Amino acid sequence: MSHFSQIKTQIRNLESLQEALTESGIDWKPGPCQVKGYRGQTHDAEIAIAQDNDYDIGFRWNGQEYELVADLQYWQQDLSVEGFLRKITQRYAFQTVMKETARAGFQVAEQQNNEDGSIRLVVQRWSA
């Protein structure tokens, strides 16, 4: 019986996910790789995050999005699963917005990191 849980996300771009993890100070390794769980069980993943207790966290492509895979009984992060995903999703969204605005010719004119954790961006584009 597998102890792995698969948690859906809205994350679809691997590069932005990797940048979000790095910005969040999370040490990760690229895949394809195996994440370890209860009694040596493994699960395929595109990203693996090692924990001190030898049980990994991973992100794997399910055909539509990168879902979080982990044996939640052995979750050993500073944040809850929900808090962890909220933090990563916010950084992922930030990365996605930055890439798309740059691709559309915009530049960041102002960035404000608010006390509630939200980020306010003002972008501009000069036209000829």
With tokens 């808090």, the residue in question is 83
pLDDT, residue 1, reads: 47
Q: Using DSSP, how many helices (H) and how many strands (E) does the chain show?
A: 2, 7
**More confident: 58 or 125:** 58
pLDDT at 2 over 80: no
Distance (Å) of CA 29 to CA 57, 59, 120, 122? 11, 11, 30, 33
pLDDT for 27-68, tens place per residue? 999 989 999 888 888 889 999 999 989 899 999 999 999 999
pLDDT at 121 over 90: no
pLDDT for 62-98, tens place per residue? 999 999 999 888 888 889 999 999 999 999 999 898 8
